[in-house]
Amino acid sequence: MKAFSIERYGKQPGRLIEAPAPVVGEHDVLVQVRASSVNVLDAKIAKGEFKLILPYALPLTLGNDLAGVVLSVGAAVRRFKPGDEVYARPPQQRIGTFAELIAVHEDALARKPANINMEQAASLPLVALTAWQALVETAKLKKGQKVFIHAGSGGVGSIAIQLAKHLGAFVATTTSTANVEWVKALGADVVIDYKQQAFEAVLRDYDVVLNSLGAEALAKSLKILKPGGQLISISGPPTPAFARAQNLPWVLGLVMGVLSSGIRRRARKQGVSYEFVFMRASGAQLDEITTLVESGIIQPVIDRTFPFESTAAALDYVEQGRAKGKVVITMGTAPPGAHPAG
């Protein structure tokens, strides 16, 4: 099968290679990938930014989102059958959706929403799960609360706005001048043009901030939170709690404690909490998201699509940081090339 892989970490782009078909375990589902999507995470993995906490073997097939069709299932799988249309973010240890075929553990998989196509479905798993785990699971966002979502026109931001509005929150966000009206249409109550105004000078007494930017934006976010508020970051710095949850070596826990000590100390001083969220795969949560998509509550947002052969160009485009919503890769069809275990 064809796959887009990197042979070493660094700035060099990956390339299409001929890779062996996946080995399908007894709890795995073999999926013919019809579409994938590109995340900033893919570029960071390729550069080696996560090699301490995600020690992948090289060469590595990239890709964290998929939509496709089930070809076969492992002997213990009962929830899926050949022909099912599915979507997923694979478990982080088994990424590789920039390929014609992938074996995914059944617990990470969900049925594709019936009212959207493969490209739209492929745009959702990572960003929708990130929004869900930040706002529903971690923040426990409630009706009437105020949430500030950085970068409202981005992949996570565009879905998080829709989810937060569904939960009944008052939503503020930032974007560039050209996207202000577009982001308002997603449901944001307050949209700050970051080229014209500083969000920390405008917003006050927020319950939750969802940060996806760098250290400067993270520190400024503290200023707008009320006592008891929550600062949730998906872009770091990671915390000792994260290290424990990932079962990382104790020395990495110490490193993460140092990296996040400043923001955690400032948060405590202000009477707010700081948490780092690193999205995990969950088919059960994707089932919840499917219901919201089929109800029209969450709508996929796609900026551009690229053919599989142009995956390197798609990665480069995402790294430029100008995409409105998601960038999708469309795949050709692949011959069935693996069989279930047992």
Separation between Cα atoms, residue 80 and residue 29, nearest integer Å: 8
Residue 11 confidence (pLDDT) above 90 = no
3-state SS string for 36-63: EEECHHHHHHHHCCCCCCCCCCCCEECC
Q: Is the pLDDT of residue 342 over 70?
A: no
Q: Where are the alpha helices (DSSP H) in the chain?
A: 40-47, 118-122, 125-132, 155-166, 180-186, 199-202, 215-221, 240-245, 250-270, 283-294, 311-319
Type of residue at 4: F
What residue ranges define each of the domains in the chain, with the CATH number in brackets? Answer: 2-124+300-330 (3.90.180.10), 126-276 (3.40.50.720)
pLDDT digits (tens, 9 = 90+) for 289-338: 999 999 999 999 999 999 999 999 999 999 998 899 999 999 965 444 43
Q: Are 71 and 31 in contact (CB under 8 A)?
A: yes
Question: How many other C-beta atoms are found inside a 10 Å radius of the C-beta of residue 111?
Answer: 17
CA 318 centroid distance within chain: 13
- Average pLDDT score, the chain: 94
Across 20-49, average pLDDT: 96
Name the residue among 260, 84, 42, 230 with its Cα closest to residue 147: 230
* Position with higher pLDDT, 100 vs 11: 100
What number is the average pLDDT over the span 3-23?
Answer: 93
Higher pLDDT, 12 or 63: 63
Amino acid letter for position 79: R
Do residues 211 and 232 touch, judged by C-beta distance below 8 A?
yes
Longest dimension (CA), the chain: 62
Tens digit of each residue's pLDDT (9 = 90 or more) over 150-173: 999 999 999 999 999 999 999 999
The pTM score is 0.95
The pLDDT of residue 333 is 56
pLDDT by residue (tens digit) across 99-108?
Answer: 999 999 999 9
Given a cut of 70, is residue 18 above it in pLDDT? yes
